[in-house]
Amino acid sequence: MSLVETLLRAFFAWLIYPGFLFLFIAGIIIEGLRRKFAGRVEGRDGPALLQGVFELGKLLRKPTPVPAGYEPPEDDPDANQMAATRREGSRWGLFAIPVFGILALSTGVALLPVPGNLWPFLNTPDKALGADLLAASLLFLVPSLAAILVGSMGGSVYSQLAGARVFQLLVACAVPYAVGVFGPAMALGNLNLTAVAAADSPAILGVKALCGLLFLMCLPVLLRLRPLAASSGEVLEGITNDLDGPPLALFRLMQWMERLAFSLLFSVLFIPFAHANPIFFILGVLFALGIIGIVDALFSQVRLRDAFNFYLRYTNPAALGLLVLLALAVRV
């Protein structure tokens, strides 16, 4: 494969499929279907399928407000100049943070061995780095880190508390997420995502089933679904309390793309034969999206203390126990 063909295939995978454009278009459609399902659950028709497009267009036409912070006295020109510089930096940060999350998701899904992916190093293990599972799993965490940063930049205490809530829950599910993602790789002894996805022995399938369950239990935290979102008793409107205009549009788009990206990762990692069979792949993605939609629409909100205790008391010990079993199995 020539250098030009390699670059073209990599660019296509990152920009078209399964990268940015695929996540962008499919993410908007899936968000419309999710709202339709939530509306049916609540006894109404729900918005139009492409309502998200109109919302994004409306937000993109609005001005970009900057969260208010400390305002110095008017008779202090130096302090006012520093405050103006800070506000301008905050304005660029509000744009850059969700954009960085979108770019990270587009890059992460380009590494996945999904059917039809033209990423040039999927089927060339001699040239692959062998750690694309590590790269993809870390890239998929960027939107959650972006949510924490957006919350910390907020001018109100509500957005800052919401960002702190996301951070605490991420810490609580860090071990289950790591064991869920890397458990099959540990059993196989390989961090190559293609090799992990292609492993289909009975023992590996059993490991994938247990690790897939851990992964699904972490999704409400990673995707900040409604049960674990900020409730009115703790935080008013959550992380996006101070966002409006284009930054809010970008942040919402990042969230919609993120749901699809994690569903793709779930299907590739834990559904047998999904990496090579489009039918199994689509069924795995639909299963993950169904779980996400059901949890988001049917489960009521959970207090931070209860969610934190659940992950520390039950999910973390289960993940550590599975980790010990995997380590012993590899030794044997």
Q: How far is CA 117 from the centre of its chain?
A: 20
C-alpha span between 242 and 227 (Å, rounded): 21
Q: How far is CA 283 from CA 86, 181, 305, in A?
A: 48, 20, 35
User: 54 is in which domain, residue-wise?
Assistant: 3-331
Torsion sign, CA atoms 292, 295, 298, 301: negative
Note every long-range contact of 88-97, with CB atoms under 8 Å and residues 24 or more positions apart, other chains counting. Answer: 90/66, 90/153, 91/64, 91/66, 93/149, 93/153, 94/64, 94/66, 94/150, 94/153, 94/243, 94/247, 95/64, 95/246, 95/247, 95/250, 97/146, 97/149, 97/150, 97/153, 97/251
Number of domains in the chain: 1
C-alpha span between 302 and 258 (Å, rounded): 22
pLDDT along the chain (332 residues), means of 10: 88 95 95 88 81 90 71 55 58 86 96 91 66 91 92 77 89 95 91 89 92 95 84 59 86 95 96 92 96 88 87 94 86 51
Q: How far is CA 91 from CA 36, 80, 86, 152, in A?
A: 34, 16, 9, 14
Structure tokens at 276: 């090579």
C-alpha span between 222 and 228 (Å, rounded): 10
Q: Which residue has the tokens 């036409």?
A: 61
Angle (nearest 5°) at CA 138 between 136 and 142: 110
Residue 97: which of 138, 50, 151, 57 has the closest Cα? 151
pTM of the model as a whole: 0.90
pLDDT of residue 332: 47
